[in-house]
Amino acid sequence: MKYELVVFDWDGTLLDSAGAIVNAIKASCRDLDLPEPSDARARHVIGLGLVDAMRLAVPELPAERYQEMVERYRFHYLSGDHQLTLFDGVPDMLARLCSAGHVLAIATGKSRQGLERALDHSGLRQYFKASRCADECHSKPHPQMLDELMAEFGFVPEKLVMIGDTSHDLLMASNARVDSLAVTYGAHPHEHLLDHKPLACLHSVGELDSWLKTYA
């Protein structure tokens, strides 16, 4: 087994939520009479911690209004998050990886409360041995999430692969000196992901699962 620890991002990698996140950011701007970011700009911040994401998505926002923006974002996102669905094939892939003996973990820009809610809604909690969230660690692309996961299980960097849909995931992996895989069906465009030299860019969960069967 090449990669004993397989770490997944959540939004845009396992859960089809990028569109909902973009819509929540734009609705929050309308609530606060702020200019709406473009879809591309709103997608770019997916995966960051919430305050960092709001600061980059809406640079006109004064620092004293960050919390107000975060509260509006949570209102809009949580009003529809129960309707979001996993990408096709995710539960089967995770079950197969667990059966093969891999340790699975999550490194996400979500808050701990948000991830716990998502794990309950999705039914995926049983597959993951550990997780790290943006309100417990430095936001991506800082390597703290991956460093802590490796320390928790006693794995060296060569035994970990990080899987995500954004440049923030891939940069975090690079900063932690671990390999990465990019999925192109999430938030960031294919060519942007290629810039960060993942082992492969996979275009569906099926392709990702096949790659892991062959090389992990």
- Structural domain containing residue 43: 18-82
Whether 115 and 173 map to the same domain: the answer is yes
CB 54 within 8 A of CB 27: no
51 vs 91, more confident: 91
User: Do 169 and 126 share a structural domain?
Assistant: yes
Two structure tokens written together for 100: 């093969």
DSSP 8-class letter at 139: P
Confidence of residue 201 (pLDDT cuts 50, 70, 90): very high
106 and 116 assigned to the same domain: yes
Indicate if 71 and 32 belong to the same structural domain.
yes
CB atoms within 10 A of CB 169: 34
| Boundary of a domain, candidates 34, 66, 82 | 82
CATH number, domain containing residue 60: 1.10.150
Question: Over the chain, what is the mean pLDDT?
Answer: 95
Report how many domains make up the chain: 2
What confidence score (pLDDT) does residue 24 get? 94
- At 210, which helix (H) or strand (E)? helix 205-215
DSSP H or E segment with residue 137: none
List of residues 6+ apart from 137 with CB closer than 8 A: 144, 145, 148
pLDDT over 70 for what percent of the chain? 100
Per the annotation, the verdict on 11 as an active-site residue is yes
pTM: 0.94
Final residue before a domain boundary, out of 64, 82, 100:
82
- The domain that holds 189 is classified in CATH as 3.40.50.1000
Residues 37 and 117 in one domain: no
Answer yes or no: 39 catalytic.
Answer: no
| HSE-CB of 53 using CA atoms within 13 angstroms | 30
Helices (H), 32-141: 39-44, 50-57, 66-78, 90-99, 112-122
CA distance 92 to 129: 17
